[in-house]
Structure 1
């Protein structure tokens, strides 16, 4: 034993003799001057939800323990994941520590503890040193000031979300969330209790309220009421984002924080802010990985109920990550080869105990549960990620590879159960399973989005051998089918419209593709049917009282396509047909028109951008001789510009029409 250590122990013994008293409380109760039942953990620490912080100074200090012995003890404790910041008392999975694949691989072969008990009030001892304007107390105080003062108001808003949206999107377990809110609202309003509020759960509450205030408004509100609701929704939305950003600094990560990040992303999809949603879904994914969600719960030794909940949450993140990246042409956050997680089972364990969950049997896909959509969506997301890697990477992809990926999409479509089928749909289960129509809508639109994105670079290409007919057919078929779904959805009220727009498909508007098809073929026999449906679509959107500036920008782009197509039409009676859009009717005429045009091309595979065209007498507005937009469109690295960039869209549409 070193001399310094001997002096330290002697001082401790002398101090204890001078005081003349013996410790009768744990460190937590002692700091609060509360009585302690002297158990380990004591009843007070259990009540506060911090049993791991219950310590006895006389038990922790053992004069007979050498420095070497203490270090070996520390090493053995270090093998249990999450002990790095365990003293801060954050009720998150494995404490607060971030762990990567190396630590995960080590822990897979060792015993892993189950999820610790979660309380909405974190340890207040961990926050004592932050009692100042820059600490969590001031942050929580500001955020709590944004909540309505009346509990009845908050209760009503929460119930609107839980009863009208939550069941379709699998956001939270309703009963658990109600209990958490009751605990949160019933807290004492002392200094310590406010400083100990869990910001991670508060972020989830705020983003739910951001949706709820919109649901609580009338279906057809006055302009003043609409503005008031939108401003209240944005205040809750920004409060959620603020809580998400600052909470890991004080609490670490948690499942509630991941759910909040996921719903913030859906909020941006709802408001059509696609580019920003790419940032928020990446942040949510990092928070999930920091808790080990990239490794399956079975490997961690978690209960089956916790494992299934984590699988579903991961699958929702996975689908959004892959599809948003594909839509924007940006890298995704998840690397499949660095993950070890299974798809969810077709089983619903929410509301069951761990014992009941352990003996529950998964159902076949013929008997759907709300988990069925995540199972099938997970498979579609994998294909979308592969499309991003192989067809829209740094190097050009061959058309044979595009055909191969299309075959994978078609194979995925064929294995869908009858209640999710794109062809020969069976809706007999819809009455007994209210979630099926909405989950079907999400899957169908996500499929159409992936297929259109895959074939979009070849939509304007021509070939004397009709080589690109598969791409022409896929684009017109999926775009028209998706538009029909959208036209049906625009007849719904606020809650139904919100369920529709929170899916991945709202990041892409098939009407834009149909508008380009009409501009490209203004004289095709079926163009009139396309224009009729596009006009109806724009008319319905303009009647939507909740349409924001991003949605209005999309309407203006589609209307620009309609105007340009009509301007290049030869006869007015051709556009007076009252027929409606039908892929089966449009495809034969469209492809026939393509073959007629392709037969005039001098070489196989010549694209519109490289072919020689006879210039019309006058040039359309927005024409730029320095840029060949048809050629840019065919570039596999080209992604749709933002709808708000109307000038770019006008130039692109004008040049595509100019080179007809």
Structure 2
């Protein structure tokens, strides 16, 4: 390690090769041959920095190869084996704790944009034994760009925070009513940060003290502003009366104040810049995404989510090897470090799940292209005293927590990455076996969901426990994720495969029933909840598409589908005053409803869904909706329709014809029927994407009633969609005809 002999092997190079032999050898530096060298290397005590590097006056350059750990320091640990087990054992609940973190002193090379990931330039500098100080020496001498009065601008943003009393009330509301839905923040950790923030004294020598603050502390007011903004957006009227200390509110609405707080938080993070990204920064990023979704700004939310993913990658949330290590051997420090690691893994899990779910809802590319499975957090009981609680898994008889729900939600959503990969094969893949296998996996996953999360016949034994107050509401939301997965899986194939239409229709009906139950269980202030929009709109559009193009199929579920169509439209109209997406979608659903009823001659047969026997529209029944009709009567109904689907070539399980199934279309006032239309060219329908990206809107004035003889001008869909979209096909075609 600094000796002249050519036989000396440095600790870095030795451990580089030692990684190829059993791990027990890599726990300490390799000792080369030669008595002198043995004496020299005996100084390496396996600590960080080791005695050898200290003697060579290069403590900052002391590193071990990736994955190699210092020798256990049982002799110097005041806590004996317990500390050694949690600090150094690869079998601990949090996994291996690495030797260095990106924010450690001496990692000046990161200022050039390099990250120590094992394959960057910084890694090669490590391998050739070049210290950061040698690389950065000349750079530090160069003048840096001035950021002006950073403290002054930061202080002006901090002054926009609500009063301390309002902060207390808003954070209480957030943790009681909102945080359980995704379990973004750990309440005890947040309140500890809040307490520490209010104890700061930045008045004397403010600029110097501000510069010395850790990045997490500097970013905390931004997180606080996002919590306040989300709470203001969703707060109940009774709790709103308590907020009499909001600054500068006057006659301003809570919604306007919420927007101001959220944007101020983002301005603060932008002011700090990307060289000071921290875990608190990424928490604030995530809350900003949720806020934009609540506010109906879907496009902005998708871009903000991508930025949050970038910030998370900047601090290594996507790599367990970059988890922090405890600063000392103190047992409380070790336990707190474990909890921080769990915070990192929980946050990356949430970002990963939201990334792929948003991509599949909007038909956009995912920001995370890593096919490796992230390390999930441990499902631990929630504690208010992190320093004395090791990370131990929750027992089977322990009460479920919002973290339990969050982990199950990710397990469901992660399958969307496989579904997205299948979409690339188009609507007519060579084999449907992959689709069927994934369908089976999703159904097995549904069976494995814990009974206390199930919507039908749930286990309610935990409901009476005060800390499980959120559990009944969770039952209406978690199953929706699985229903959406099945919808997304079969959505590309509804125009080319009968089996996919059947399974997609069943998933849509399950989704809509869960949405109805969810809607009935919430207060008016929660109408902004994006769960109530995305599931309903996509399901309704998919159901309408199936029945408009294939009216002869699935008559046993038609009454149930039409009832949900009516309920969903009414929900959107009720929510329209609070939810901008619901307001825009309500008109589109009315237009779709008019076309669907004309296709099925619904109002001619049944002026109102209420005229049907109640047993046919039992929620979630999936029973024979029109069982009171004889088979001959039903066939007569079908033959009397202007539309029909006898010309469809249904796909088998083994594949479809290269050209895809066809149907004959007729267009209004254009003479003879058009040529056979290839249904496989219709693009998969991303209804929400078309609404927010392509300005989809239905006709504002609907001409009703319709009759087969009136040759009506059906209402049209307007927007910037392509010619192969379902909206263009419906606009250009009038009806299908039997030849």
> TM-score when scaled to structure 2?
0.64
1:515 matched to which residue of 2? 544
Q: How does 1:353-372 map to 2 (within 5 A)?
A: 353-357=386-390, 360-364=392-396, 368-372=400-404
Is 1:75 the equivalent of 2:61? yes
Is 1:163 the equivalent of 2:176? yes
1:25 matched to which residue of 2? none
Shift of 1:385: 1.0
User: Contact 2:664–2:675 (CA<8 Å) still a contact in 1?
Assistant: no
Shift of 1:306: 2.7
Distance 1:271 1:518, change over 3 A: farther
Q: Deviations over 1:608-655 (max 9, x none)?
A: 986241515558xxxxx9997954435599995235422147545435
1:426 matched to which residue of 2? 459
Q: How does 1:599-638 map to 2 (within 5 A)?
A: 600-601=647-648, 605=656, 611-615=662-666, 617-618=668-669, 630-635=679-684
Q: Deviations over 1:448-477 (max 9, x none)?
A: 11110111122233xxxxxx3331222111
Is 1:290 the equivalent of 2:314? yes
Residue among 261, 266, 277 paired with 2:285: 261
User: Contact 1:630–1:656 (CA<8 Å) still a contact in 2?
Assistant: no
2:260 matched to which residue of 1? 235
Residue among 226, 237, 258 paired with 1:207: 226
**More displaced, 130-139 or 236-245?**
130-139
Q: Deviations over 1:420-446 (max 9, x none)?
A: 336543333333322323433332111
User: Contact 2:452–2:459 (CA<8 Å) still a contact in 1?
Assistant: yes
In structure 2, what is the Cα distance between the partners aligned to 1:575 and 1:313? 51
Q: How does 1:142-221 map to 2 (within 5 A)?
A: 142-148=156-162, 150-188=163-201, 190=203, 192-193=205-206, 195=210, 198-216=217-235, 218=237
**More displaced, 528-537 or 492-501?**
492-501
In structure 1, what is the Cα distance between the partners aligned to 2:202 and 2:325? 38
User: Contact 2:226–2:262 (CA<8 Å) still a contact in 1?
Assistant: yes
User: Contact 2:360–2:420 (CA<8 Å) still a contact in 1?
Assistant: yes
Shift of 1:88: 11
User: Contact 2:463–2:471 (CA<8 Å) still a contact in 1?
Assistant: yes
Distance 1:482 1:507, change over 3 A: closer
Distance 1:584 1:201, change over 3 A: same
Shift of 1:218: 2.5
* Structure 2 residues without counterparts, runs of 5 or longer: 1-54, 66-98, 127-139, 242-248, 327-336, 698-717, 720-725
Shift of 1:86: 3.3
When the two chains are superposed, the root-mean-square deviation of aligned CA atoms in Å is 4.6
* Structure 1 residues without counterparts, runs of 5 or longer: 1-67, 111-125, 462-467, 620-624
User: Contact 2:515–2:535 (CA<8 Å) still a contact in 1?
Assistant: no
**More displaced, 372-381 or 182-191?**
182-191
2:272 matched to which residue of 1? 247
Distance 1:496 1:166, change over 3 A: farther
Distance 1:541 1:365, change over 3 A: farther
Is 1:329 the equivalent of 2:363? yes
User: Contact 1:82–1:96 (CA<8 Å) still a contact in 2?
Assistant: no
In structure 1, what is the Cα distance between the partners aligned to 2:536 and 2:206? 41
2:438 matched to which residue of 1? 405
**More displaced, 440-449 or 326-335?**
326-335
In structure 2, what is the Cα distance between the partners aligned to 1:396 and 1:138? 61
1:314 matched to which residue of 2? 348
User: Contact 1:209–1:236 (CA<8 Å) still a contact in 2?
Assistant: yes
SS in 2 for 1:642: helix
User: Contact 1:479–1:514 (CA<8 Å) still a contact in 2?
Assistant: yes
User: Contact 2:188–2:383 (CA<8 Å) still a contact in 1?
Assistant: no
Shift of 1:561: 0.6
Shift of 1:285: 2.0
Q: How does 1:541-552 map to 2 (within 5 A)?
A: 541-544=572-575, 546-552=577-583
**More displaced, 407-416 or 389-398?**
389-398
SS in 2 for 1:102: coil
In structure 2, what is the Cα distance between the partners aligned to 1:211 and 1:393? 40
User: Contact 1:207–1:236 (CA<8 Å) still a contact in 2?
Assistant: yes
Is 1:457 the equivalent of 2:480? no
Shift of 1:208: 0.9
User: Contact 1:168–1:438 (CA<8 Å) still a contact in 2?
Assistant: no
Shift of 1:244: 3.3
In structure 2, what is the Cα distance between the partners aligned to 1:528 and 1:588? 5
User: Contact 2:286–2:351 (CA<8 Å) still a contact in 1?
Assistant: yes
In structure 2, what is the Cα distance between the partners aligned to 1:209 and 1:96? 35
Residue among 590, 596, 605 paired with 1:573: 605
In structure 1, what is the Cα distance between the partners aligned to 2:735 and 2:252? 42
Distance 1:345 1:145, change over 3 A: closer
In structure 2, what is the Cα distance between the partners aligned to 1:226 and 1:502? 30
Distance 1:137 1:537, change over 3 A: same
In structure 1, what is the Cα distance between the partners aligned to 2:567 and 2:240? 23
Shift of 1:498: 6.5
In structure 1, what is the Cα distance between the partners aligned to 2:257 and 2:395? 42
Q: Deviations over 1:95-140 (max 9, x none)?
A: 9986353179x99xx9xxxxxxxxxxxxxxx9xx999774422431
User: Contact 2:292–2:301 (CA<8 Å) still a contact in 1?
Assistant: yes
In structure 1, what is the Cα distance between the partners aligned to 2:378 and 2:64? 34
Q: Deviations over 1:500-532 (max 9, x none)?
A: 536996696423223334434568575454333
In structure 2, what is the Cα distance between the partners aligned to 1:481 and 1:288? 35
Q: What is the aligned residue count?
A: 553
**Which structure shows the bigger proportion of residues in helix conformation?**
1
Shift of 1:399: 2.4
User: Contact 2:293–2:301 (CA<8 Å) still a contact in 1?
Assistant: yes
2:89 matched to which residue of 1? none
Distance 1:349 1:97, change over 3 A: farther
Shift of 1:319: 0.9
Shift of 1:160: 1.7
**More displaced, 383-392 or 446-455?**
383-392
2:563 matched to which residue of 1? 532
In structure 2, what is the Cα distance between the partners aligned to 1:508 and 1:247? 39
2:117 matched to which residue of 1? 101
In structure 2, what is the Cα distance between the partners aligned to 1:540 and 1:226? 30
In structure 2, what is the Cα distance between the partners aligned to 1:298 and 1:234? 35
> TM-score when scaled to structure 1?
0.70
**More displaced, 473-482 or 588-597?**
588-597
In structure 2, what is the Cα distance between the partners aligned to 1:627 and 1:257? 56
SS in 2 for 1:613: strand
In structure 2, what is the Cα distance between the partners aligned to 1:569 and 1:607? 30
Distance 1:636 1:529, change over 3 A: closer
Structure having greater relative contact order (Cα 8 Å, sep ≥ 6): 1
